[in-house]
Structure 1
């Protein structure tokens, strides 16, 4: 943040304003302040200055300096906030750096998006964003987005001149400003074709209407897939959310001996509305396969006794290891060191883990070390501590938390494997879903070095742990654990978020780096109920045309492929054969040392995607 040497002139001042920067967590302490338009000799700025009134958000979540790392070295996130002397910083934004802004929450919230992808969220407590924007009109040229009525695009000087020129010619049936945006972008990407198209407009020779398909009843369908395929998605149906599973509903699903009589109906209720907080301690044990659904009360008591003995036997294995053994066991030593570092920075702002010499941090460490003994092939990879943290907080029991964590890791362990094949597959599948649901967005991402979907890496790796507050992430996880309405519902949640952010990405003309930064800045700003409803609606769109879906899409959402390839006897034998690994291969797979993960021919982009995702 630059510090001007001169005294600026305040043009407009709004008080009672809270500002949250791109790296600030919602549970941090914010100061109210003044938000002004200030004029300097070098230009006009938006300027936020704090006052001495503190406001604490009710939300409590993880450490703002939490840094997610797998087999790579990550850059630790540094929170915007007080400086080294404890003073809140003044934030200045040059108007020329502003790319767009959006008004939300009945005019009380203003989201500023900069050209480099940085996002600031401004909360007006005593006035509203509309009055501030009205003042801004005198100093900044911007137009309203045609696709998002709450979003405004800031015009560059050259864009304004072009818009005026085209508007005066009055040659275009479409909105002149929209055409200018498209003309400027296409002129850079396709200079010859764009120039010829503009000339054809001038002579009124060429006009291509946007194709739509009608079902004969007046409803229009969106054309998807490659031209000529003819596959269409019906309108997206509304999918309202339900109420959380109640104690009464839970008890009705048990027989006199404690068995769950209809687990599928129970999962449906959980998918629709989640679980009441008071029930999570019990229900999660079933969702994470700690308890079988059909177990009786007596069988569960016996099972827990057995699991407790097994846990402490594994715990004793690593606790009794001598220093001499550790010196000759490099993999164990490296994992132990990594766990020690991670535990000390996991969710430290949460009351359950807050403070020095916290006993729960010791439990977190012990569980992770014991998991290394339970599954040494996978061992420990950074990021696992953040999946365990909410489970331990909820269970408040070392044994119960361990076995629930084992169930969770069984679902997502491929995310953390050294070869990253699980992550590569999910990113590839996500791109396929975007191509089907929104070809325009998919094409835009492809043209801007983002078709690899690396900017979604963090979402998939830890199931949106960084994107939602402590309560919402519990709801999302228990919904995902039902495996309803289909497998890979997490990918549909990603598609739903991208659908919501499509206009921001495209109308701001964001490139690879800006897309990464914007997606990272969505942390704690995604509406969970709306996103879940949209994701379910996308699923129902797919199912409405299920018989026409390509096989690779059918497989993603859990349907049988319609065209199974024929496999020869020799191919089947090779496919089912167990690969033989020598000692060096096994060590390479199990080693915790850092290294580059090569994703096709995009190693450099992959590295940028992972590193920038956590800044």
Structure 2
């Protein structure tokens, strides 16, 4: 019999998914963890659809090493991969029964439960096709990928139940993506009516803020679809007066804004120009002499702001980090004396070992009856065994530092059981343990770091979504051309920046540069959310590479991931601070932009006073490293980052 080759595109891949229910033929695989896919087959003569949901248990499963190493990252949930099958859909005949395959045509509805960690698919006759439980995070990215291929509408009776109303065509995909990217209508329907009210009072500004990104749709069709969208996705009907306001407001922008096409992307004309960018050179790191000079006879820091400014400007001398990081991560209070710190160290040590004893003395029967604890313990063991193994500090079998990494993370589960452990936390702990090489100190500094990034690990990913939205808002203000390009290339959701934000560029920089960047960010200077401006600095630098090559989402994601270990931290800090200065001085920056970076609102083009934020520049001197800003630079010079070490 002739063997036919079929190409299979993996649209979505996510590990750590438990099969809770399914066909009778899969009963032996129930309660097993496996990998969930959304796949597209190039040809299928006997099926109604070419797109399927697939699941396979982890047994005998080979996973791409890069994907396996980054399960928590968005790359494994959206990056498309292609495999070739010969003769049948399943490469190994003996493994065919292990695959659970569900044709999209058979899905009539699905229900999300347990804060997004569980999803049930129904066939429309009241029967459950299959049920999955997401062990590593939740189903948010999976559902987002699902909705790129099927239209859904929420049930009026159950907000967690979604009815499948059909497939998504090309036009639908473009418009749907635009709306989803903009996140115009949160679950709170009161937002919608506040939105409409703003139209009545400031139609031009409101329309521009919300819809400037959607520029390639005819006005008539745009108005029609917008109104239809409001009616379908909001339970409260629109009256004629509201419809008229919306129509007039949308049409009003036609004469105020023009666009032109340039090489497949939109360029918005008449965008106000940002102020000239200042060069913000880096300085030398904080020295031991400076550190001691700023302490009194009792060991108390007398000029906290001055210390933070020095750290922001140049980081910390490596030999001094063990001391300074304990302040930056709230292990010690900046106002504490040496005597008070000695007592804190004693108290923290006792508290740590009390919590560690709690999990170390847990019996097997207790673990067997405590599924949440058992799952977290298993996930920690799995992550620890592959955290930074390329570094000598964590290399080799039976490495004692890996055991410390494991013990600290297990103790954190007892410290914060509501959160427990989420993939990515081991990446944040690793440099801290490497530096301090003390179990107790590393734990409490890790606790301080987690307090700063806690929202990154929300079970519903609300914190990450908000940061990605904020990043898009800032990009639309500082680089509207690139922002529009991303919107038009299915990338306006900024998911390709997910890894940057989740673990603060841990995977993008070498160990030394990671520590330098983190200590600068921990100062909170020069503004809140400065890490988002680091993202802007990278995106601005890569702008031409992305746009000139006409990259779509998959290519953008690949390009961004390939920047790992090629970035220069001093260059990025210089550029990011320059971007902040431009936002600070821009009189056309709206309140939303200014609020993201913690600037006061503008009133009649002037900053409110006396609450105006201030930040002091250091005068230029021979001690500073001047970094030239080149917006076309893609490959960074490595020498600058080591100039003071």
Question: Which band: TM-score by shorter chain?
Answer: 0.5 to 0.7
Divergent runs of 4+, >4 A: 63-66, 71-77, 225-228
Contact 1:70 1:416 in 2 (8 A): no
Q: Which runs of no fewer than 5 residues in structure 1 stay unpaired?
A: 1-62, 78-188, 192-208, 212-224, 564-615
**Structure 1 residue 524: Cα displacement:** 0.7
User: Greater CA deviation, 258-267 or 554-563?
Assistant: 554-563
- The CA deviation at 1:210 is 11
Match of 1:272 in 2: 313
3-state secondary structure, aligned to 1:232: coil
Whether 2:452 is the aligned partner of 1:411: answer yes
- The answer to whether the aligner puts 1:380 opposite 2:421 as a matched pair is yes
Partner residue in 2 for 1:67: 69
Matched, 1:296 2:337: yes
Q: Name the residue aligned to 2:149.
A: none
Q: Which residue among 472, 481, 498 is the counterpart of 1:431?
A: 472
Alpha-carbon distance change, 291 to 425 in structure 1, aligned in 2, over 3 angstroms = same
Is 1:558 the counterpart of 2:598? The answer is yes
Q: Helix, strand or coil: the match of 2:286?
A: coil
1:104 aligned residue = none
After superposition, the Cα gap between the structure-2 partners of 1:415 and 1:210, relative to the gap in structure 1 and judged at 3 Å, is closer
Equivalent residue number for residue 277 of structure 2: 236
Separation (CA, whole Å) in 2 of partners of 1:226 and 1:520:
29
1:467-490 residue CA offsets vs partner (Å, 9 max, x unmatched): 001110000000000010001000
Cross-structure match for 1:16 = none
Which secondary structure does the structure 1 equivalent of 2:380 belong to? Answer: helix
Write out aligned runs for 1:90-239 (5 A).
Answer: 231-239=272-280
**Displacement after TM superposition at 1:66 (Å):** 6.8
- Report what 1:394 is aligned to: 435
TM-score for both structures, normalised by structure 1? 0.56
1:431-463 Cα offsets, whole Å, 9 max, x none, are 011100011101110110001100000000000
Q: Distance in 1 between matches of 2:78 and 2:432?
A: 24
- Report the CA distance shift for 1:72/1:499 in structure 2 as closer, same or farther (over 3 A): closer
Match among 329, 339, 345 for residue 380 of structure 2: 339
Q: Is the 8 A contact 1:67 1:76 kept in 2?
A: no
Instruction: Render the CA deviation track for 1:557-604: whole Å, top value 9, x for unaligned.
Output: 0123458xxxxxxxxxxxxxxxxxxxxxxxxxxxxxxxxxxxxxxxxx
**Counterparts of 2:287 and 2:568 in 1: how far apart (Å)?**
23
Residue 66 of structure 1 contacts residue 347 of structure 1 at CA under 8 Å; is this kept in 2? no
Matched residue, 1:513: 554
CA contact (8 A) 1:463 1:490 kept: yes
How far is 1:231 from its partner? 3.9
The 5 Å alignment of 1:599-614 reads none
CA positional deviation for 1:71: 9.4
Match for 1:535 among 555, 576, 580? Answer: 576
In the alignment of these two chains, the number of paired residues is 359
Decide which of 290, 307, 329 is 1:249's aligned counterpart. 290
Change (3 A) 1:368 1:238: same
Q: Distance in 1 between matches of 2:582 and 2:446?
A: 34
How far is 1:375 from its partner?
Answer: 0.3
Measured in 1, the distance between the counterparts of 2:596 and 2:217 equals 35
The corresponding residue for 2:589 is 549
1:456 aligns with 2:497: yes
> Cα gap change, 1:349/1:66 in structure 2, threshold over 3 Å: closer, same or farther?
farther
> Residue 356 in 1 paired to residue 397 in 2?
yes
Distance verdict in 2 for CA 1:72–1:334, change over 3 Å: farther
Q: Which residue of 309, 333, 338 corresponds with 2:350?
A: 309
Q: 1:448-527, aligned counterparts within 5 Å?
A: 448-527=489-568
Q: 2:250 corresponds to which residue?
A: none
Give, in whole Å, the separation in 1 of the partners of 2:567 and 2:286: 23
Structure with the larger RCO, 1 or 2 (CA within 8 Å, 6+ apart): 1
CA contact (8 A) 1:65 1:345 kept: no
* 2:487 matched residue in structure 1: 446
Separation in structure 1 between the aligned mates of residue 538 and residue 67 of structure 2, nearest angstrom? 24
> Distance between the aligned counterparts of 2:292 and 2:328, measured in 1?
16
Residue pair 2:277, 2:582 contacting (<8 A) in 1 also: yes
CA deviation digits over 1:356-390, x for unaligned, max 9?
A: 11111111000000000000011001110011011
Question: Structure 1 residue 529: deviation in Å?
Answer: 1.0
Displacement after TM superposition at 1:190 (Å): 9.8
Kept in 2, the 8 Å contact 1:235–1:541? The answer is yes
- Counterparts in 2 of 1:290 and 1:76: CA distance versus 1, 3 Å: farther
* Alpha-carbon offset, residue 76 of structure 1: 13
**Aligned-residue offset at 1:323:** 0.6
Deviation per residue, 1:136-159 (Å, 9 max, x gap): xxxxxxxxxxxxxxxxxxxxxxxx
Whether the aligned pair in 1 keeps the contact of 2:285 and 2:310 (CA below 8 Å) is yes
Name the SS of the counterpart of 2:354 in structure 1: helix
| Alignment TM-score, normalising by the size of structure 2 | 0.53
3-state secondary structure, aligned to 2:516: helix
- Confirm or deny: 8 A CA contact 2:428 2:506 kept in the other structure: yes
Once the two structures are TM-superposed, the CA of residue 413 in structure 1 deviates from its matched residue by 1.1
1:72 Cα deviation after fit: 8.4
Rounded to whole Å, the distance in 1 between the matches of 2:290 and 2:74 is 45
Post-superposition offset of 1:335: 0.1
Q: Distance in 2 between matches of 1:450 and 1:298?
A: 53
Q: In the alignment, which residue of structure 1 is the partner of 2:412?
A: 371
Cα distance in 1 for partners of 2:280, 2:474 equals 19
Q: Is the 8 A contact 2:73 2:498 kept in 1?
A: no
Q: CA deviation at 1:70?
A: 3.6
Give the CA deviation at 1:548: 3.7
Distance of 1:375 and 1:234 partners within structure 2: 45
Residue 254 (structure 1) shift: 0.4
